[in-house]
Structure 1
């Protein structure tokens, strides 16, 4: 099979997995390239499914697709900014007998790596230009050598992951209402230099709904997981349920993983992920990476940002909100899936 190096764009050739990646033409042109200057090679779309990713991913798609899944793995899948870090921390601690000392000593990106973190841009180019220091990013080869049990996370759809994943390992899918996910992803693009966005939120929403933002379409992965919700190896969590009653969701995770936790451990877990502590926890909040230049050092826009449900009300105009409501209604029609977009107590 032909490979694609960092100097060439995918040209529509078929990968072993049966997925075809093609460049999205508009992402090589203005105004997109002005709004997203970090994506100087544009973005690519995978078919079937329409998943949008950086061209660098194409070189590694087969390696991820052919990963050896272990029966004691736990894979956490989300749309970005939907509770990935939060759920990964709880899951890793439950799987490792609530070893808080180890969790504090070793950063979450190392002990619970993200499969697609390497492939949102050309890290080597930015490091060579001095945009930031070389970071400890776990490669797929290194993930393959990690001791069991592994707690892995990603934002990839099922059709880009090992085909035996769901029948072999435990998978937790976390869904967050799309309105808050859009706002959080917008701020992520304002924070992280690898995917800088220079426009305003209304413009970002247009790109998002048109599936021209990294990791879109939003409903692609969410509805794919929702359709598999009866599989015994899949647990679907909702961000809003975690906000409403984190103890109940910790118990659900514990039961799903067959890893009992005591009432005392549950209280320690609740305290550990309390927002005011979690946002200051350098093991999970990417402070080191941001200071090294991966992101902008802005106290008003941090990796663990607000963690609220309903924050979208402070960001969307009535017109933009109507547009999003129509998009949500169209995609959820007949699915039985509903989202909570506001919480009184959180």
Structure 2
């Protein structure tokens, strides 16, 4: 396989000596493209990423007005970021929709990642510069995230989007192909699939990540919202209204009658966002081409990539891992 391009969070050049010592004691290995990956408290991280997660836990203190949008990579992140931003800030652009930031900025620049961006180069960035409410994004497991949020005076709102594992895997495969700027072959596809099934994937295992937020939403419904990507596609108006209710900014009857919900859905649709100039030719602050965050966004695209045996294998694993939780995937 050709040498691959590595984004900063996959490298090991921002790791303190203390974290190097920690890494030396952790279960470690290499991911499907041969990059070092380490297991910390049940989750897998690249070296720089682990350093950033530790810094988030130590230094990040959200305000009670802040919102944290959580997900697994390629689990519906881009769409939910745009929806949360549009719902929260809808009053600011009601009179001048043509200047809406989503028309000129990628959703990932409007809703910055805690560990991939803000804490990637600085152990304690100045968050006071951000307006309130501020929307942050993370891929961190809920238990790891709570090491940071417990420092807040009151809990902030956490919104989690969950996407079926087979589509998440396939979307992630295509993303990694483009991210590494090389063509990964079928054998590498099978290695990544094997890693997914074993839980050996960044931020994984998948089922542990999903279960952490699922259980969190059952235990603390006021502050943790669990959303399914498939339900968002199937009944978008219902789910966006549910999102607004949770964030304490429900749509009024007048807004619904005037079409505000539908306008937000149209603005945030993947078709609309992917066709914008900024998302076709722009680059996000973390150095990733904006177009990489947009693909099909369909449910069931995994059928074009996974063999029946692969699909059965992963379904059986997930069913076993989620048994008794009340969380079921069709």
Q: Do both share a fold (TM > 0.5)?
A: yes
Q: Secondary structure at the match of 1:214?
A: coil
Query: Which residue in 2 is equivalent to 1:53?
Result: 45
- The one-character-per-residue Cα deviations of 1:156-188 (angstroms, maximum 9, x if unpaired) are 012322142795211101111111111111111
From the two aligned structures, give the one with the greater helix fraction.
2
- State the Cα distance separating 1:195 from its structure 2 match: 10
Which 5+ residue runs of structure 1 have no aligned equivalent? Answer: 14-19, 123-136, 341-346
Residue 194 of structure 1 and its aligned partner are, at CA, apart by 8.4
1:111 and 2:110 correspond: yes
Structure 2: gaps of 5 or more residues: 1-12
Q: 1:23 to 1:295 in 2, by over 3 A?
A: farther
What is aligned with 2:81?
88
Instruction: Specify which of 161, 165, 168 is matched with residue 155 of structure 2.
Output: 168
- Alignment-derived partner of residue 62 in structure 2: 69
Alignment of 1:139-178 (within 5 A): 141-161=125-145, 162-164=148-150, 167-178=154-165
Match of 1:242 among 232, 249, 263: 232
- How has the CA–CA distance of structure 1 residues 177 and 144 changed in structure 2, closer, same or farther, with 3 Å as cutoff? farther
Shift of residue 9 of structure 1? 9.2
Displacement, 1:289? Answer: 2.1
Q: 2:170 aligns with which of 174, 183, 202?
A: 183
Q: Which moved more, 1:211-220 or 1:104-113?
A: 104-113
1:234-257 Cα deviation digits (max 9, x unpaired) = 111100000101111110011111
Tell me the number of residue pairs that the alignment of Structure 1 and Structure 2 aligns. Answer: 300
Tell me the CA shift for residue 303 of structure 1: 2.2
Pick closer, same or farther for the CA change 1:197–1:220 going to 2, 3 Å.
farther
Take 2:269 and 2:233, find their aligned partners in 1: how far apart are those partners? 10
> Aligned pair in 2 of structure 1 residues 10, 336: CA closer, same or farther (>3 Å)?
same
- The CA deviation at 1:275 is 3.0
Change (3 A) 1:202 1:59: closer
The CA deviation at 1:339 is 1.7
Q: Secondary structure at the match of 2:283?
A: helix
Kindly indicate whether the alpha-carbon contact (under 8 Å) linking 2:162 and 2:210 is maintained by their aligned counterparts in 1. yes
Contact 1:77–1:172 (CA under 8 A) maintained in structure 2: yes
SS of the aligned residue for 1:204 comes to helix
| Counterpart contact for 2:177–2:184, Cα < 8 Å | yes
Correspondence for 1:16: none
Q: Secondary structure at the match of 1:152?
A: strand
Do the aligned residues in 1 keep the contact of 2:19 with 2:51 (CA within 8 Å)?
no
Find out whether 1:26 has 2:29 as its counterpart: yes
1:106 Cα offset (Å): 3.8
- Equivalent-residue separation in structure 2 for 1:81 and 1:240 (angstroms): 13
